């Protein structure tokens, strides 16, 4: 069973395991350079769940893709930073697009008016994905900065987020897979 939903703070270990499973080329693209397991470990340990939202793509209960949205920590942030990761076997099947649609809607519902991401110049997949969602690209010294403007939240965007989360909950109840493990595992 496949499902998209937000991760809970006590699911950090699932996110870490997903990032560690990325093939070396994808790890390089995700972090903008070669990073060790210890760097990924620190990235996850330092995440502040007050200003970070991770939307996960689950296959049979295993996290296989994620969109990470970080804000500046302001009470009412107007900007956010995005990063994406989809495990190699699941790439090219629309997972990145589905994660992008969801994370933009969630950002919009938090009052965020612009999201940015940075990727390597050679990362055509990420750039094409961003352009699909009206991202504006700026090339600078081997990197590409992409910004996407967001509309204000409305009843439809709020309802969409609520329905998507409810659907994930119902699907997990019927599949017998845990919606949330209820355990903190580090
Ligand atoms: C970038 C990434 C998230 C895309 O995820 P995905 O699930 O493969 O994306 P989708 O299948 O939804 O494809 C989205 C668009 O990307 C483009 N795309 C996908 N794979 C591509 C490839 N190999 N080359 C060029 N463009 C590609 C296409 O335009 C596609 O849209 P279309 O199918 O409507 O034409 C994924 O490749 C990934 O995790 N890469 C490694 C980590 C990374 O690069 N992170 C980004 C840094 S923040």
The pick from 20, 80, 91 for probing ligand 1's pocket by mutation, whose C-beta has the most ligand atoms within 8 angstroms, reads 91
Residue 81 included in any domain: yes
Among 78, 71, 27, 76, smallest CA distance to 52 is for 71
Taking the CA of residue 131 as reference, the ligand 1 atom at the shortest distance is: 29
Task: Decide if 183 is inside a domain.
Answer: no
Question: What is the model's pLDDT at position 177?
Answer: 60
Residue 132's contacts (CB-CB under 8 Å, 6 or more residues apart) are 97, 100
Q: Is the CB of 92 under 6 A from ligand 1?
A: yes
Could you tell me which residues come within 8 angstroms of residue 16 by beta carbon, excluding any fewer than 6 positions away? 40, 41, 44
Domain presence at residue 131: yes
Residue 57 Cβ contacting ligand 1 at under 6 Å: no
Question: Which residues touch 93 (CB under 8 Å, ≥6 apart)?
Answer: none
8 part of a folded domain: yes
DSSP state of 94: S
In the reported structure, the alpha carbon of residue 72 is separated from the centroid of ligand 1 by a whole-number distance in angstroms of 26
Domain contains 138:
yes
Q: How far, in Å, is the centroid of ligand 1 from the Cα of 85?
A: 9
Q: Whose CA is nearest to atom 4 of ligand 1?
A: 96
Q: Is residue 108 situated within a structural domain?
A: yes
Is the Cβ–Cβ distance between 168 and 133 less than 8 Å?
A: no
pTM of the prediction?
Answer: 0.92
Task: From first to last of the 186 residues of the chain, give the pLDDT tens digit.
Answer: 889 999 999 999 999 999 999 999 999 999 999 999 999 999 999 999 889 999 999 999 899 999 999 997 677 788 999 999 999 999 999 999 999 999 999 999 999 999 999 999 999 999 999 999 998 989 988 899 999 999 999 999 999 999 998 888 787 777 656 554 444 433
Ligand 1 pocket residue status of 97, Cβ below 6 Å: yes
Are 63 and 14 in contact, with CB atoms under 8 Å apart?
yes
Q: What pLDDT is attached to residue 72?
A: 76
pLDDT score for 181: 44
Q: How many domains does the chain have?
A: 1
Domain harbouring 13, CATH code: 3.40.630.30
**Within-domain flag for 184:** no
Domain that holds residue 97: 2-175
- Does residue 182 lie within any of the structural domains? no
Give residue 147's pLDDT. 96
The secondary element (H helix, E strand) that includes residue 2 is: strand 2-6
């Amino acid at each position: 069973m496949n499902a998209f939903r937000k991760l809970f703070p006590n699911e950090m270990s699932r996110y870490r395991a997903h990032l560690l499973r990325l093939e070396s080329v994808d790890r390089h693209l995700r972090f903008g350079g070669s990073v060790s397991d210890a760097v990924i470990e620190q990235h996850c340990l330092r995440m502040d769940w007050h200003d970070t939202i991770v939307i996960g793509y689950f296959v049979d209960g295993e996290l296989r893709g994620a969109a990470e949205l970080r804000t500046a920590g302001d009470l009412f942030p107007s900007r956010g930073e995005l990063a994406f990761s989809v495990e190699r076997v699941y790439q090219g099947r629309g997972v990145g697009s589905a994660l992008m649609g969801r994370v933009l809607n969630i950002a919009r519902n938090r009052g965020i008016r612009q999201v940015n991401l940075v990727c390597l110049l050679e990362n055509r997949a990420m750039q094409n994905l961003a352009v699909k969602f009206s991202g504006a690209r700026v090339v600078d010294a081997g990197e590409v900065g992409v910004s996407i403007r967001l509309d204000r939240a409305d009843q439809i965007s709020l309802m969409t987020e609520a329905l998507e989360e409810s659907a994930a909950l119902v699907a997990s109840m019927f599949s017998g897979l845990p919606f949330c493990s209820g355990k903190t595992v580090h």
